[in-house]
Amino acid sequence: MKKNIKVFAPATISNVGCGFDTIGFAIDEPGDIVSLKLRTDGKVRITTITGDKGVLPTDIKKNTATVAILELLKSYKDKSIGVDVEIRKKMPIGSGLGSSAASSVAAVYGMNILLDNYFSEKDILDFAIKGESIASGAIHADNVAPSLMGGFVLIREYNPLEIIKLPVPKNLYCTVIYPHIVIETKKARKLIKKQIPIVSARKHFGNIGSLVSALYEEDIDLLGRTIHDEISEPARAKLIPNFFDIKKAALDTGAYGCSISGSGPSIFAFSKSKSVAVRIGKAMQEVTTKNGIKSNIYISKINKVGPRVIK
């Protein structure tokens, strides 16, 4: 049995326009790194957190990574097993890129390897979801599942949880802009209306079905037309300064769809090549810069791998 491990887990885009709490995908960067060192006294400790500017809790019952580990250890046969946990935040907190999910996934993915893969992927997913829920205030898997499984995922049902892996078009690129503002997931979720008009629901359901079809058919033109949100974007757009200007800049530069990632403030756009993805990022960033807001741009193909062990 290995005693130490270091794991990277990727950021994710959730909702993907029309897929509120049901569709997400992983990107290559950014992501979080969690290092683990086994103990034999049953204790779980957070030894170090870096990159969080002192924001994240060191209480093991309030941190997403250690809550996930505690859930895992509840189900493990040897109660003498404990672990020291080091968390390196390599992605912004409250960015809408699944920061809490990435930490949770990296922690339990690494822990399972140290325990000689005692648990199944489904078990690991359940532990990670429980960890991530500490930050989001709700049980949802559209960040955790793609971070763990890679690629595009569809959550068909939550009780019991049923995850469907979706195909990834070969030439699909994603541009993400992260404006340097903070949006708390719990507050953003409260903005979502409990009911939507039947006309909006019809459009929304049609887009979800078309998005899945577009992925299977590798039809990026159709995919772009499905990135339309009748549920969360109308409520959350007001939290992101100049959102519609940023979106217009992306679409005018050749993006195939553009919308808010998760609760925001990050915004994603699809394209068919890296060169266009780069141009889209520059156009989006010009808007934020002009309005006095700093931002980061991330560009990658869809991450099909999920977490990985760092040597």
> Where does the pLDDT of residue 300 fall: very low under 50, low under 70, confident under 90, or very high at 90 and above?
very high
Q: How far apart are CA 198 and CA 244, in angstroms?
A: 25
What is the CATH number that goes with domain 173-301? 3.30.70.890
- Give 159's contacts (C-beta < 8 A, 6+ positions apart): none
What is the CATH number that goes with domain 4-166+304-309? 3.30.230.10
Contact 68, 108 (CB under 8 A): yes
Selected residue with higher pLDDT from 268 and 137? 268
As annotated, the residues of the chain forming the CATH 3.30.70.890 domain(s) are 173-301
Q: Taking 70 as the threshold, does the pLDDT of residue 272 lie above it?
A: yes
DSSP assignment string, the chain: ---EEEEEEEEEEEETTTEEEEEEEEEEEEEEEEEEEEESSS-EEEEEEESSTT-S---TTTSHHHHHHHHHHHT-S-TT-EEEEEEEE-S-TTSSS-HHHHHHHHHHHHHHHHTTS-S-HHHHHHHHHHHHHHHHSS---TTHHHHHH-SEEEEEEETTEEEEEE---TT-EEEEEEES----HHHHHHTS-S---HHHHHHHHHHHHHHHHHHHHT-HHHHHHH---SSSHHHHGGGSTTHHHHHHHHHHTT-S-EEE-TTSS-EEEEESSHHHHHHHHHHHHHHHHHTT--EEEEEEEB-SS--EE--
Q: What value does the mean pLDDT take over residues 157-174?
A: 93
Contact 126, 140 (CB under 8 A): no
Res 138: pLDDT: 66
> Where does the pLDDT of residue 54 fall: very low under 50, low under 70, confident under 90, or very high at 90 and above?
confident
pTM as predicted: 0.92
Share of the chain above pLDDT 70, in %: 96
pLDDT tens string 55-81: 899 999 999 999 999 999 999 999 999
> Where does the pLDDT of residue 213 fall: very low under 50, low under 70, confident under 90, or very high at 90 and above?
very high
As annotated, the residues of the chain forming the CATH 3.30.230.10 domain(s) are 4-166+304-309
Share of the chain above pLDDT 90, in %: 76
Res 87: pLDDT: 97
Query: In the β-sheet with 267-271, what is the strand arrangement from edge to edge?
Result: 258-260, 267-271, 173-179, 295-301
Res 169: pLDDT: 96
Of the listed ranges 179-183, 205-209, 292-296, the least confidently predicted one is 179-183
Q: Which active-site residues does the annotation give?
A: 132, 185
Res 158: pLDDT: 86
Q: Taking 70 as the threshold, does the pLDDT of residue 176 lie above it?
A: yes
> Where does the pLDDT of residue 299 fall: very low under 50, low under 70, confident under 90, or very high at 90 and above?
very high
Q: How far apart are CA 266 and CA 11, in angstroms?
A: 11
Selected residue with higher pLDDT from 230 and 22? 22
Selected residue with higher pLDDT from 189 and 152? 152
Res 191: pLDDT: 64
